[in-house]
Structure 1
Amino acid sequence: MTKGRRTRILINACVITFMATLDGSIVNIALPTIASAFRVGISSIQWVVTSYLVTVSALLLVWGRLSDLYGRKRFFLMGLVVFTVGSLFCGISGNLSAIVASRVLQAIGASMAIALVQGIVTHTFPPSERGKALGFIGSVVAVGSLIGPSLGGLLVEISGWRSIFFINVPVGIVGVVLTVIILPESGMRSDTETFDWRGAVLLFLSVSLFFSGMLAFQEGLLSPLYSFLVMALAGILFLFFLLDQKRPHPLVDGCLFSSRIFTMGVIDSSLSYMAMYSYIFFMPFYLQTVRGVGVLEAGLLMSLYPLVTAFLAPAAGALSDKITYRPLTITGLLFSGLGLVSLSFLGSHSSLFLIGGIIVLLGIGGALFQSPNNSSIMGSVPRDRLGIAGSLNAFFRNLGMVSGTTLAVSLFSLSTKMNIDSVSSGLINSSLFLRGFRLVVLTAAVLALLGALGEVFGKKKGQSLQSSCVERS
């Protein structure tokens, strides 16, 4: 494959990743407007966001496995078509039920693209360029997260809330055309293996219930007891899924976890995202309600993290191609841990320059860890299992995001005896908030340092999955 074609494939993958990431962040800013248009409350309109995240997370592994069996290009293309149609339906929705159903359709398509993009990039680029290419994907994710709220606000102000969905349609059409023209087919092992539909159904139900329980607890839609019961039921279904893995061709091949490189990579990725999303959830409340800065200043300070990550991720990935990943992943997690510990010393009069410096340190840590870690994960698997490997990596990332926020909310509520709704309403005592905030960020620092220890010791004698997986093929 020529360098020019590889570049075009990467650009297409970046555009689709940007669109999927943007859609995850652009909707939040429009929720009050949509709620007003449909005359529904906050608890009801939250399902526009919750249904999307749950559906994406529940289907990631399904698409990863199917793409390995029947071809990655066809499922990536199918995902773009479904996402584009779902975006159109969201834009023309006339009531809450219609937009939630359209968001589910949109999420089905997005989950295909998210599950397969790392596998497609890894299959396209040689090992000497893989880290840099995956770094560009990381940059696009950061930029999409960064401009989503501001772009969403601009579109809602100028053209109304429906425009945040319509903007996906022309981009999706271009992505479909480019995929048809430039992306080669890969995967396709269906002549020797079959798809585990029973395992897929069990996994879908367990993940859907587990994520729904955590999100419902975060948003106050269910009491802690009911949320626990939902997640317990999810655990029972997941146990049946694990027992189902004894079948000849299971949904998730156990050989993927036979290497420390892969196993510790996805675990450390989940720990990293747990740590970061604990901080990301509460930092805006600290800035606006305790430090007393305006919404614009708070937004600019929070944007430092994705800006730094977007700038450094390709460089970190390229460096990992030359010197290997472990020095970078370890350093990145240590920087993240140091930044999170530093947050625990902030007070109601801390300098904005100090706060900004800490956020920049966190951004550097994230950039140094994510791209090299993704490269190590994807480089450790056989090429015919890139789909399921990439989807597992994305699944553990989503698990870290949601469980990190849930853990943060739980720790804050337990330590302050405050309901999370009182925080969002601004009716809080600063000293009481800081007590809970410090516990949250110190716990997050412990998670980051556990990840660093996993990189130091868990991967010390790591081997690739290549030989053991190939033997089972």
Structure 2
Amino acid sequence: MNHTHNPWRALWALCLGFFMILVDTTIVSVAIPTIMSKLDTDINSVIWVTSAYLLAYAVPLLITGRLGDRFGPKNVYLVGLVVFTASSAWCGLSDSIAMLIAARVVQGIGAAMMTPQTMAVITRTFPPDRRGAAMGMWGAVAGVATLVGPLLGGLLVDSVGWEWIFYINVPVGVVGFFLVMRLVPRLPTHAHSFDLVGVVLSAAGMFCLVFGIQEGESYDWGVITGIISVWGLVIAGIVILGGFVAWQALNRAEPLLPLRLFRDRNFCLANIAIATVGFAITGMALPLMLFAQNVRDLTPTRAALLMVPMAVVSGGMAPVVGRLVDRVNPRYVVTVGIVTFSGALFWFGSILTPDVAIWRLLIPIALLGLGSSGVWAPLSSTVTRNLPMSEAGAGSGVYNTTRQVGAVLGSAAMAVMMESRINANFPPLPAGAPAPSGESMGDLPERLREPFATAMGQSVYLPAAVLLIGLVAVLFLAKPKPSAWGGDARGQADGSEEQPRPLGISPSTST
């Protein structure tokens, strides 16, 4: 077989870019205390470095999946990779928090163009009986990125500066570009119209909701300016998003969000579950890094080493789980994964004190890796199994959007939770004394370390509780049906056309 038609080599090439996206998400968390100091900003402002990226990542995913269907996953992926790589250099050149946030928005758009294409290639080039193993490799990449991101971030911040957590993407992006050009096949395209009204409504609704939630504590949940209030923005966001859903139901052309996909029970429930996982993954890292560096005085590198057990266990177990979900009901695997994940977070939050032994932290962190490894492959395999070929891009776009919406809300909600818990636990400051922020946050007075540790521990309970919503969803997952389409890897890689089938209808012969 020609190497360009080997789905595994193509997947490896695409996973390099996916790996870079995930590393760039995790690498920032370990650098946040340093960025706060160097750019002289506070916790709420620096969290926008993550929230802006995630918001710009989430909103376009619905349309970038369609772009992959229309112009080919390979072409859209390559354009996204160029945007992501160039904006990474811009991030490193930023000399203010506002400039860094703007660069992260562009970086998020590039990531949004890349991510759906990876999943669409998996669903279109791997037959159903090998798709779980492919998703397992996808999950293993996520686990390794969880390890490499914080470790590499710590080493770069300690040695050459925080800017290099972004500069490092440039050579990786160049290598990834040439690998995708060489190894990823051109797949058949499908004509699509583009719902620009839906894009505007979803973007406006998400922005109002996220800005209102994240900035609420800063404005004491009151008036922001003039007649604009925090609660007004939150309510406006919910109303606009409701209007977006209504428009999708009324749009007779081709809606941005195909509501018919949600007629499939597993697709609907898996999307709910992955939103809670995205919330938890994004929300848990920041309290840990702030605790390690500000309470325990660990360097960024030593703080990042705390994540090693999670990454090693997650990366090691992901291929095993991937093979397992090809043989057993994914519901059982993902149920154990979410229970373990949530329980580990509750455990971790309960032991955060200034004098806790490091080895005691490593046990729940390792369990976090075990839990997360039982989530990615089962949910990814379940959510795409019943989709017709012509909906591969739209389905993966919806799924990735749901995950990123959860991550955006997790980032925003954690900003509120941490600020609220700090205000609740800190003793009253002397009159006129500034609240710890920016550079001063890196050198907490002894009297503030106990309440700060308590605040970070209490903050971790939020993602732990949100995961329980995902647990309820996965308990109702149905046993997967035979796949609605086979998708022979060789045929698709050769560019042969396929006939789309109605959603949920299995062919008479399935692989």
- Please indicate, yes or no, whether the TM-score normalized by the shorter chain is above 0.5: yes
Q: 1:96 to 1:336 in 2, by over 3 A?
A: closer
Corresponding position of 2:367: 361
Contact 1:28–1:149 at 8 Å: present in 2 too? yes
CA contact (8 A) 1:258 1:468 kept: no
Query: 1:269 pairs with 274, 282, 302, which one?
Result: 274
Report the secondary structure of 2:241's partner residue. Answer: helix
Question: Is the contact between residue 30 and residue 152 of structure 1 (CA under 8 Å) also seen in structure 2?
Answer: yes
Deviation at 1:369, TM superposition (A): 1.7
- Amino acid paired to 1:247: N
**Using the alignment, how far apart are the partners of 2:504 and 2:188 within structure 1?**
14
Residue of structure 2 equivalent to 1:382: 388
Question: 2:213·2:416 contact (CA, 8 Å) conserved in 1?
Answer: no
Map of 2:496 onto structure 1: none
Within 2, Cα distance between the matches of 1:414 and 1:40? 21
Asked if the contact 2:150/2:307 (under 8 Å) is kept, the reply is: no
Distance in 2 (CA, whole Å) between partners of 1:287 and 1:33 is 13
SS in 2 for 1:321: coil
2:429 corresponds to: none
Q: Structure 1: how far apart are the matches of 2:451 and 2:292?
A: 15
Q: For 1:341 and 1:5, how far apart are their aligned partners in 2? A: 43
Deviations 1:64-93 (A, max 9, x none): 122223322221121112222323444555
What's the counterpart of residue 247 of structure 1?
Answer: 251
The alpha-carbon deviation at position 32 of structure 1 amounts to 6.8
The CA deviation string for residues 3-48 of structure 1, in whole angstroms up to 9 with x for no partner, is 87212111112110111122223345556776777x6544766654
How is 1:449-460 mapped onto 2 (pairs within 5 angstroms)?
449-456=468-475, 458-460=476-478
Match in the other structure for 2:105: 104
Corresponding residue number in structure 1 for 2:467: 448
Is 1:311 matched with 2:300? no
Q: Which residue of 2 aligns with 1:172?
A: 173
For the Cα contact (< 8 Å) 2:54–2:108, is it kept in 1?
Answer: yes
Distance 1:141 1:241, change over 3 A: same
Match of 1:85 in 2: 86
The one-letter code matched in structure 2 to 1:229 is: G
Task: State whether residues 259 and 464 of structure 1, in contact with CA within 8 Å, keep that contact through their aligned partners in structure 2.
Answer: no
How do 1:54-73 residues align onto structure 2 when only pairs under 5 Å count?
A: 54-73=55-74
Residues 50 and 212 in structure 1, CA contact (< 8 A), matched pair in contact too: no
RMSD over aligned CA atoms reads 3.5
The alpha carbon displacement at 1:99 in A equals 4.7
CA distance in 2 between counterparts of 1:286 and 1:32 reads: 10
| Matched residue type, 1:377 | V
Matched, 1:23 2:41: no
Seen in structure 2, the aligned counterparts of structure 1 residues 122 and 231 have a Cα distance that, compared at 3 Å, is same
Q: Aligned equivalents of 1:279 and 1:46: distance in 2?
A: 13
> Aligned match of 2:265 in 246, 252, 260?
260
Q: Does 1:469 align with 2:503?
A: yes
Partner of 1:398: 404
Task: Tell me how far 1:234 sits from its aligned partner.
Answer: 1.9
- 1:231–1:145 distance in 2 versus 1, CA, 3 Å: farther
What is the CA-CA distance between 1:332 and the residue it aligns to?
0.9
Of residues 220, 224, 236, the one that matches 2:221 is 224
Counterpart CA distance in 1 for 2:397 and 2:157 is: 33
- Change over 3 Å in CA distance of 1:211–1:143 after alignment to 2: farther
Instruction: Give the SS at the match of 2:178.
Output: helix
Structure 2 gap segments, 5+ residues each: 223-228, 427-434, 485-500, 506-511
Question: How far apart, CA to CA, are the structure 1 residues paired with 2:168 and 2:419?
Answer: 39
Q: Does 1:205 align with 2:209?
A: no
Q: TM-score, normalised to structure 1's length?
A: 0.84
Residue 308 of structure 1, CA deviation: 1.4
* Equivalent AA in structure 1 for residue 306 of structure 2: L
- Residues 441 and 40 of structure 1, relative CA distance in 2, 3 Å threshold: closer
AA at the equivalent of 2:270: G
Summarize the Cα distance change of 1:340–1:23 in structure 2 as closer, same or farther, 3 Å threshold.
closer
Q: Equivalents in 2 of 1:177, 1:238: separation in Å?
A: 39
Q: Secondary structure of the residue that 1:322 maps to in structure 2? A: coil
Q: Secondary structure at the match of 1:469?
A: coil
**2:385/2:480 contact within 8 Å kept:** no
Alignment of 1:145-160 (within 5 A): 145-156=146-157, 158-160=159-161
**In the TM superposition, what whole-angstrom CA distance separates every residue of 1:180-224 from its partner, at most 9, and x where no partner exists?**
23222335221xx4211111121122223333333444xx65543
Structure 1 unaligned regions, length at least 5 = none
Aligned pair in 2 of structure 1 residues 410, 207: CA closer, same or farther (>3 Å)? closer
Q: Residue type of the partner of 1:361?
A: L
Q: Is residue 54–residue 212 contact of structure 1 (8 Å, CA) maintained in 2? A: no
Question: Contact 1:58–1:208 (CA<8 Å) still a contact in 2?
Answer: no
How many pairs does the alignment contain? 464
Relative to structure 1, the CA distance from residue 79 to residue 347 in structure 2 (aligned partners, 3 Å threshold; closer, same or farther) is closer
Match of 1:373 among 379, 387, 396: 379
User: Per-residue displacement from partner, 1:137-163 (whole Å, max 9, x unpaired)?
Assistant: 222223323332432343455555554
Structure 1 Cα separation of the partners of residues 379 and 18 of structure 2: 18
Q: Distance in 1 between matches of 2:420 and 2:47?
A: 24
Structure with more of its chain in helix, by fraction: 1
Q: Distance in 1 between matches of 2:54 and 2:34?
A: 20
Contact 1:135–1:318 (Cα < 8 Å) also in 2: yes
Q: Are the aligned partners of 1:279 and 1:444 in contact in 2 as well (CA < 8 Å)?
A: yes
Contact 2:72 2:187 in 1 (8 A): yes
* CA 463–406 in structure 1, closer or farther in 2 if over 3 Å, else same: farther
Structure 1 range deviating more: 128-137 or 350-359: 350-359
| 1:141 matched residue in structure 2 | 142
Q: After superposition, what is the alpha-carbon deviation per residue over 1:252-272, rounded to whole angstroms, capped at 9, x for unaligned? A: 111111111111111111223
**CA distance in 2: counterparts of 1:436 and 1:95, whole angstroms:** 28
The whole-number CA distance in structure 2 between the counterparts of 1:71 and 1:389 is 15
Cα gap change, 1:168/1:284 in structure 2, threshold over 3 Å: closer, same or farther? closer
Q: Is the 8 A contact 1:259 1:465 kept in 2?
A: no
Change over 3 Å in CA distance of 1:278–1:26 after alignment to 2: closer
Partner letter of residue 186 of structure 1? L
